[in-house]
């Protein structure tokens, strides 16, 4: 390993305690998207203390920030997230037991995500200083990945305009970087306004907003036959009235519309808007459409994915303690074997069968999944249209751990999560150093990026005047 990478890794090793403490603090804060005040301040303060120039409250989000060190090209970005998920509060134990019932929890490991990126950025700065490496390192503090796609606002407002490559880590049950794309999505609320009346005595005076919601859903469910196979349309009824003897004057549904390409989402979304209008006409109610977020599909990058894998192999997988193995064993007992197999199969990782009898991923596979699309969505996708971007995973949880689960929360807060954090930070800083010092790799990554995008143009999926819904949790 080169001496600059070794220097960066020594810094991570020597500061392990502090880095884990930061990850655990964010785990305890467990703050929801757009209100991650303590979590983002903790990361931003640490970067500032380490000499980064920190710009806070960017792109209309108090909890978004960018921390910069160095000057000139190349500019390498590292991303970190820190939002939790509602209702997933969980103790650091291998059985289901909330810390505070009903409160949020880190069911996607974003406490590790934020800390690993921050650690890599600081370690990169240390190595750049010591070994006179030219260029700029930027850490992007990205709020609200889970619900309001903070990065889309940051992209729209130009914060990624000058980056030459971007790296992002995400806790996973597998090590590696896939070449899968992700689904583009629109998230939208439909508010219907009718007129209340006595449902028994004078229903003829009422106009039911709930009828509109139900008719709209019926229309959309008929639409399903006429959309592409890979599209996904899902909804919840957030408000359907108060009690049966009052014709509901107000009702609200929340929709996600997903498809492999942005223009496919827009086509389906347009049709759904027609259906919503139709439902309002049928029921003589008023419709208000509240657009919440839009996200692109992810553009993979083989050059940077292979670089990540090469660095992972050079560093070597973490060594787990007896306590870690014990915890993993206990968690594994809570995961049904058929679910584990289904999840492995769905990953399409070559040779996934070898992992069926394993607790933790002990391999570092080549990047896989070229031409495939995962059925989730992420705002990392919008960044991936700006510059070569790689999001890689390190094993944080037992194989088969469902996403957004109590098991996920527990694993992210104990030894398994800590080891994943340190490993990921080392992989990221090694990759940052490669991208800063090896012009040919950065060039190749950018050529690949241009080739994959071709003549498609990125147009922000959110309207120019659209603002992050900062008051959403007060509603």
Answer positive or negative: Cα dihedral of 44, 47, 49, 55: negative
State the number of CA atoms in the 13 A half-sphere of 284 facing the CB: 6
Cα angle at 213 between 208 and 217, to 5 degrees?
Answer: 145
- Whole-number Cα distances in Å, 96 to 101, 333, 338, 399: 11, 12, 20, 18
Residue 108 or 328: which CB sits closer to Zn ion?
108
Query: Residue 371 and residue 179: Cα distance in Å, rounded?
Result: 7
Write out the binding residues for Zn ion, residues 388-427 only, by CB under 5 A.
none
The distance of closest approach from Cβ of residue 205 to Zn ion in the complex, given in angstroms and rounded to an integer, is 48
292 lies in the site for Zn ion, by CB under 5 A: no
The distance of closest approach from Cβ of residue 82 to Zn ion in the complex, given in angstroms and rounded to an integer, is 11
End-to-end CA distance of the chain: 53
295 lies in the site for Zn ion, by CB under 5 A: no
Of the candidate spans 4-12, 101-109, 120-128, 214-222, the one that interacts with Zn ion by CB under 5 A turns out to be 101-109
- Whole-number Cα distances in Å, 147 to 28, 40, 414, 464, 467: 20, 17, 25, 19, 14
Of the candidate spans 104-112, 118-126, 303-311, 410-418, the one that interacts with Zn ion by CB under 5 A turns out to be 104-112
Query: Residue 408 and residue 401: Cα distance in Å, rounded?
Result: 7
Answer positive or negative: Cα dihedral of 346, 302, 315, 51: negative
- Taking residue 14's Cβ as centre, other Cβ atoms within 10 Å add up to 9
Residue 4 or 83: which CB sits closer to Zn ion?
83
Residue 182 or 373: which CB sits closer to Zn ion?
182
**CB-nearest residue to Zn ion:** 108
Of the candidate spans 65-73, 102-110, 181-189, 386-394, the one that interacts with Zn ion by CB under 5 A turns out to be 102-110
Residue 35 or 212: which CB sits closer to Zn ion?
35
Residue whose entry in the numeric block shows the structure tokens 């939790």: 84
The distance of closest approach from Cβ of residue 103 to Zn ion in the complex, given in angstroms and rounded to an integer, is 18
Write out the binding residues for Zn ion, residues 303-332 only, by CB under 5 A.
none
The distance of closest approach from Cβ of residue 348 to Zn ion in the complex, given in angstroms and rounded to an integer, is 20
- How many residues bind Zn ion, per CB under 5 A? 1
Residue 108 or 188: which CB sits closer to Zn ion?
108
Query: Residue 367 and residue 118: Cα distance in Å, rounded?
Result: 24
Of the candidate spans 103-111, 342-350, 411-419, 435-443, the one that interacts with Zn ion by CB under 5 A turns out to be 103-111
DSSP letter for 320, please.
Answer: P
Residue 5 or 170: which CB sits closer to Zn ion?
170
Of the candidate spans 42-50, 106-114, 222-230, 239-247, the one that interacts with Zn ion by CB under 5 A turns out to be 106-114
108 lies in the site for Zn ion, by CB under 5 A: yes
Residue 67 or 144: which CB sits closer to Zn ion?
144
Residue 108 or 142: which CB sits closer to Zn ion?
108
Backbone angles phi, psi at 191, to 5 degrees: -100, 130
Query: Residue 312 and residue 394: Cα distance in Å, rounded?
Result: 9
Of the candidate spans 6-14, 59-67, 105-113, 216-224, the one that interacts with Zn ion by CB under 5 A turns out to be 105-113
Q: Which residues bind Zn ion (CB under 5 A)?
A: 108
């Amino acid at each position: 390993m080169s001496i600059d990478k070794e220097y960066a890794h020594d810094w991570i090793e020597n500061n392990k305690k502090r880095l884990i403490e930061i990850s655990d603090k964010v785990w305890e804060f467990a703050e929801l998207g757009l209100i991650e005040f303590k979590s983002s301040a903790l990361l931003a303060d640490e970067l500032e203390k380490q000499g980064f120039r920190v710009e806070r409250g960017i792109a209309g989000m108090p909890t978004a920030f960018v921390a910069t060190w160095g000057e000139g090209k190349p500019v390498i970005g590292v991303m970190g997230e820190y939002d939790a998920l509602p209702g997933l509060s969980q103790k650091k134990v291998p059985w289901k037991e909330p810390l505070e019932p009903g409160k949020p929890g880190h069911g996607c490991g974003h406490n590790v995500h934020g800390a690993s990126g921050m650690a890599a950025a600081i370690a990169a700065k240390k190595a750049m200083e010591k070994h006179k490496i030219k260029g700029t390192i930027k850490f992007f503090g990205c709020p609200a990945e889970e619900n309001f796609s903070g990065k889309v606002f940051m992209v729209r407002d130009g914060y990624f305009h000058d980056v030459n490559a971007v790296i992002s880590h995400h806790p996973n049950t597998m090590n590696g970087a896939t070449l899968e794309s992700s689904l583009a999505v629109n998230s939208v609320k439909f508010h219907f306004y009718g007129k209340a009346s006595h449902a028994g005595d004078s229903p003829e005076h009422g106009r039911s907003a709930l009828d509109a919601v139900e008719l709209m859903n019926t229309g959309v469910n008929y639409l399903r036959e006429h959309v592409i196979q890979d599209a996904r349309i899902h909804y919840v009824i957030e408000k359907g009235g108060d009690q049966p003897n009052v014709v509901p004057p107000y009702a609200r549904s929340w929709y996600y519309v997903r498809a492999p390409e942005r223009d496919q989402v827009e086509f389906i979304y347009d049709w759904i808007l027609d259906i919503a209008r139709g439902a309002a006409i049928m029921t003589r109610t008023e419709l208000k459409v509240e657009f919440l977020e839009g996200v692109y599909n992810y553009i993979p990058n083989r050059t940077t994915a292979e670089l990540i894998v090469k660095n992972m192999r050079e560093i070597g997988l973490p060594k787990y303690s007896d306590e870690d193995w014990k915890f993993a064993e206990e968690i594994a007992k809570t995961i049904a074997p058929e679910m584990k197999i289904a999840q492995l199969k769905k990953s399409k990782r070559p040779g996934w069968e070898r992992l069926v009898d394993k607790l933790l991923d002990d391999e570092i596979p080549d990047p896989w999944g070229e031409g495939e699309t995962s059925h989730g969505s992420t705002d990392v996708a919008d960044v991936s249209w700006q510059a070569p971007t790689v999001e890689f995973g390190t094993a944080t949880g037992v194989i088969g751990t469902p996403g957004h689960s109590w098991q996920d929360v527990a694993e992210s807060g104990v030894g398994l999560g800590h080891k994943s954090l340190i490993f990921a930070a080392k992989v990221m800083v090694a990759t940052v150093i490669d991208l800063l010092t090896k012009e040919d790799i950065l060039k190749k990554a950018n050529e690949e990026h241009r080739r994959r995008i071709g003549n498609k143009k990125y147009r922000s999926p959110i309207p120019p005047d659209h603002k992050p819904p900062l008051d959403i949790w007060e509603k």
